[in-house]
Amino acid sequence: MSLRRRPNDGRAALPGIHANLVSLMGQRIVSGALQPGEVLPDQTELSRQFGVSRTVIREATKVLTAKGMVDSRPKRGTMILPREHWHLLDPDVLAWQEAYLPGVDFATDIMDVREVMEPGAAKLAATRTTAEDLAALEAALTAIGAAADEAAYIQADVDFHSALVASTHNVYLVALLASFTAALRVSFAASVRAVRAAGATPGESWTDFVRSSADLHERVLDAVRRRDPEAAMLAMQQIIGETRTHRVT
């Protein structure tokens, strides 16, 4: 259970140990190893269990508190909070959920948000896009089509959807997407893995998958370029529909 034995000279632990402890405790909460309502042992006992200083325990607890996963109070101690209190769009919390809660509800919730937000954003973008916006969308589309691996593909896909929302020139939509970007990235990664695990269609290669995705995204870009709001909305709805069947992201 020890992360790294703390020195006896009282020096502060390395930042990496702190991050590792936050991750370990966060994963235990998400996985259910630590249940809502459960009160953690005191700092001295946790320090002994994990082999780190009480300072590291205290700082890790502060981080988890800021993520809405625990609540610390005098006399009672640190209690695990239920999922509805978690900051679900926090990048770490998202990653832990994706790893330990890969069920239908998690993926469906993210897709529901995309379905509510993105077709409308595409429709609005078609009425407000500028030459600079189109250049950003075209660059992202080119990167999607040229992606040689999952990491490059996911980044290009995130860039396309971010550029599309930026093309609305609505500061609130842009802010909403900024808070949702980590969820979008997790969603894309999960979809790509699902596609590759299922083998997509018989005989389909990575190149085929990337080309299919690029074609669908190009329909969105073409509609935005033509300033056709309805076509842009429908094209984005098609992407999301295909994503629900794990064919593109």
Alpha carbon distance 69, 91 (integer Å): 13
Residue type, 113: V
Q: In Å, how far are 23, 94, 155, 179, 182 from 91, measured between CA atoms?
A: 12, 5, 15, 9, 5
> Which residues span the domain enclosing 174?
102-244
What is the average pLDDT value for the chain, to the nearest integer?
A: 88
Q: State residue 86's pLDDT score.
A: 96
Contact 187, 111 (CB under 8 A): yes
Residue 77's region, left for phi above 0, alpha for psi from -120 to 50, else beta, is: left
pLDDT of residue 247: 58
For 214-233, write each residue's pLDDT tens digit.
999 999 999 999 999 999 99
The per-residue pLDDT for range 31-49, each reduced to its tens digit, is 999 999 999 999 999 999 9
Question: Of 49, 84, 119, which closes a domain?
Answer: 84
Same domain (yes/no): 113, 217: yes
Q: Could you read off the pLDDT of 51-87 as tens digits, one per residue?
A: 999 999 999 999 999 999 999 999 899 999 999 999 9
Asked whether residue 204 carries a pLDDT value surpassing 90, the answer given is no
Q: How many domains does the chain have?
A: 2
Same domain, 233 and 144: yes
Q: Which of 14-18, 129-133, 176-180 has the lowest mean pLDDT?
A: 14-18
Contacts of 15 by beta carbon, 8 Å cutoff, 6+ apart: none
Q: Is residue 240 very low, low, confident or very high in pLDDT (cuts 50, 70, 90)?
A: very high
Cβ count near 247 (within 10 Å) = 20
Say how far apart CA 154 and CA 240 lie, in whole Å: 15
Q: Taking residues 134-149, report their average pLDDT.
A: 97
| Residue at 123 is within a domain | yes
Instruction: Determine, yes or no, domain membership for 89.
Output: no
CB-facing half-sphere around the CA of 237: CA atoms within 13 A = 10
Task: Categorize the per-residue pLDDT at 175 as very low, low, confident or very high, splitting at 50, 70 and 90.
Answer: very high
Q: What is the mean pLDDT of residues 121-125?
A: 98
pLDDT at 10: 35
Q: Report the share of the chain in percent with pLDDT over 90.
A: 68
**Shared-domain flag, residues 119 and 230:** yes
Q: What is the pLDDT of residue 2?
A: 44
- Split at pLDDT 50, 70, 90, the class of 11 is very low
Residue 40 belongs to domain with CATH number: 1.10.10.10
Confirm if 225 and 134 have CB atoms less than 8 A apart: yes
Share of the chain above pLDDT 70, in %: 88
Establish if 4 belongs to a structural domain: no
More confident call, 110 vs 225: 225
Residue 127 sits in the same domain as residue 197: yes
Mark whether 171 and 75 lie in a shared domain: no
Q: Is residue 157's pLDDT more than 70?
A: yes
- 226 and 121 in a single domain? The answer is yes
